[in-house]
Each structure stands twice: as structure tokens, then as C-alpha cells.
Amino acid sequence: MQPRLLALKSAVPPHVLDQSDVSVRAAALFQGRRDMTRLMPVFENTGIERRYSCVPIDWYSEPHGWTERNALYIENAVALFEKLTDALLTEAGLGRGDIDAVVVSSSTGIATPSLDALVIERLSLRRDVRRLPIFGLGCAGGVVGLARAADLAKARPGSRVLFLVVELCALTFRKDDTSKSNIVATALFGDGAAGAILSTEGEGPPIGPSGEFTWPHSLDIMGWDVQDDGLKAIFSQSIPTLVANDFRTILNGYLKDNDLRLDDFDGLACHPGGAKVLDALEDACELARGALVESRGVLRDYGNMSAVTALFVLERMNWRAQHSLMTALGPGFSAVFLAIGT
């Protein structure tokens, strides 16, 4: 019995960050860095017009410690999850008491009890709901988390699995960090959340096979470095090069292992890590420049929301009626795949 995607929704916090405003403020905050003039074009070259944040833009001009940031992360994550869950249940024609399992993926804060437990308490879900919190997958967490939720649904036929993913990346901004990684993160990151309901019973596209590949000796490519004042972004300049050199071979291995072909899919729901990464993905998949329309559109309208972003892309596509291949890259350094509708 194949799990199906019964509902898919996204949500953003209330504060809008216009990219031009962010650029002006960043130039003022980082003016002490000697080569800042050379780095400023990154804000224009990202392909981003706006992003969303759980705090107003003035918040970023003041110092904030880890305790404050994490408290904001928990408060806003649970609020977004409540909004998402009710929207998903409405779309699927279900009630809160119908949920049998909750899978949560997130990497931009820490909660113990974990976010899934907080959601169960906040929404008064059943006391026997099964829980699976997933941490540390970064940008790959949305695709992998959805795959794990599908595994749970398949393992217990008829059960309804709620999958939730949230990343409040903008909370990681560190105004006194003039490193290139922090400046790039300032130009890219936004906040958002997404979710889905899966079950082997009900109407919706089937969830197909998933796949993962982790590059050797790649632990320093992407991730977080925990500092006293929060999470410091780790980015490597080699990410587009790795995609250009290796992604198609890795993708072909996934397709071969699962008896699939790239032209079996109507569209690719690629996580838009950045404009250069999308260029490299289009080249690797032998697509025309700009062909990943939905991925580029989500990047333009929301920025890079880490794990959340791939689900925004899938939502923007005709996911109920077409065959889609979800892909993302995350710390590890890893490439992940999930077929929808096959």
C-alpha cells in the first residue's frame, strides 16, 4: 500500500523584509569590513526580492544572545505549526483527533521537549500520537522529513501522518560577524514553515521512492557553528562546483536504482539554495537557463528558507496532477531525492 499526499500547505511569519531595505541596513552594519563594497552585489545577485521574518527588521540592529534567539524560535515555530496544522486538516477533511503520528524537521533552534511534543500539547492532539523529531538535516530536512513521514504511513497502513517543517533562519543573523558566510546568509535567508498530511488511505498523489547520497570528506561544506550569540552559518564556495561536477551522476544512480528516468517527471521541485546553485542544477539536468521556474519564483518571493523551501516549490507546482521529483542539498554534504506522483 503506497502512501499518498493528502494535503500540502505553507505559511510565513508576519514581517516582510524587502531585499533593498536589507541591503541598505547590511551596508551600514558591516561597513567596518574593508571589502564590503566588493561583497554588496551579493544582495542584488541572489534573485531575491523579499523575504519574511518572525521579528521586525529593527530587531537585527541590536545584539541578541542564544537564549533570546532560541526562545523566539520556539514561540514562533509552534505558532506557525498551529496555523499550518489547522489548514492541512481542513484541506484533508480531517479533525485533530484523526492524526496518528507527527514528524517534525527543523535545524534553526533547539527544543526539548521537542517541537512535536509542543504541537501535541498546543493542539490537544491524541495522547497516543507517535512522534519523530528530526534535527540537523538543514536544507535537506524538508525532502528527507517528507520521505520519513511516508515511511511511517507505509509501515502502519491507514494511519494519518502529519509532517511539519519550520526554519527561522533569519534569527541566526549576527550583526558583529563580518565573515563572508554571515554576509551571504544575510542576503539569502528567510523564515517559513510548511506541512503535509500523508496516509495510505485517501485521495492524493502517491509518494514514490526516496534516495540519498553523502559526499565523502564533506563535513565542512555546510552547517552551523554554535557561538555564544547564536548559530554561525558555514557555507563553502564549492557547492555550485560540486553540483556541476557530481549531481547528474548521483541523480542517475537514484533513477537507475528505482527504475526511473528523468523524463518520467513533469517537473523538478528543486530546493533553491541560491541563484548559482540553480544555474548548476539546470546545467546538470540539461535544462535551459531559467527552466526551474517554480524554484526561482520561490527564491524571489521568499528567499532561502532552508528545509522549508522545497515544499514551497512543490506547492507552487501542480502537485496533485503531475509527477514531480523533489531534490535538495544539505549538510553532510548530501543530495536527497523524493518522487511524488509516480
DSSP assignment of 79-105 equals HHHHHHHHHHHHHHT--GGG--EEEEE
140, 332 Cβ separation under 8 angstroms: yes
Q: Do 212 and 287 share a structural domain?
A: yes
- What distance, in Å, lies between the first and last C-alpha atoms of the chain? 13
Task: Write down the pLDDT at residue 181.
Answer: 79
Write the CA distances from 340 to 102, 198, 233, 327, integer angstroms: 20, 12, 31, 11
Element (H, E) at 266: none
Residue positions counted in the chain: 342
Q: How confident is the model at residue 330 (pLDDT cuts 50, 70, 90)?
A: very high
**Residue 225 β-bridge partners:** 232
Predicted confidence (pLDDT) per residue in 35-67, tens digit: 777 778 888 888 899 999 999 999 988 888 899
For residue 275, the domain's CATH number is: 3.40.47.10
Task: Write down the pLDDT at residue 278.
Answer: 94
Task: Mark which of 169, 199, 229 sits at the end of a domain.
Answer: 199
Structure-block grid coordinates of residue 300 = 524571489
State which residues form the domain around 72. Answer: 4-199
Looking up cell 540537523, which residue turns up? 136
Structure-block grid coordinates of residue 49 = 526580492
- The count of domains in the chain is 2
Task: Mark which of 180, 199, 218 sits at the end of a domain.
Answer: 199
Predicted confidence (pLDDT) per residue in 238-287, tens digit: 888 888 899 999 999 999 999 999 999 999 999 998 898 999 999 999 99
Q: Do 134 and 74 share a structural domain?
A: yes
Residues acting as catalytic residues: 139
| Section 190-204 average pLDDT | 97
- Is the Cα dihedral 204, 205, 207, 212 positive or negative? negative
Q: Do 298 and 184 share a structural domain?
A: no
Contacts of 288 (CB under 8 A, 6+ apart): 282
9 closest CA partner among 267, 194, 134: 194
Q: Do 219 and 174 share a structural domain?
A: no
Q: Do 223 and 150 share a structural domain?
A: no
CA–CA distance, 337 with 209 (Å, rounded to integer): 8
CA angle 308, 309, 312 (to 5 degrees): 100
Q: Do 193 and 78 share a structural domain?
A: yes
Residue 74: HSE in the Cβ half-sphere, 13 Å Cα cutoff: 15
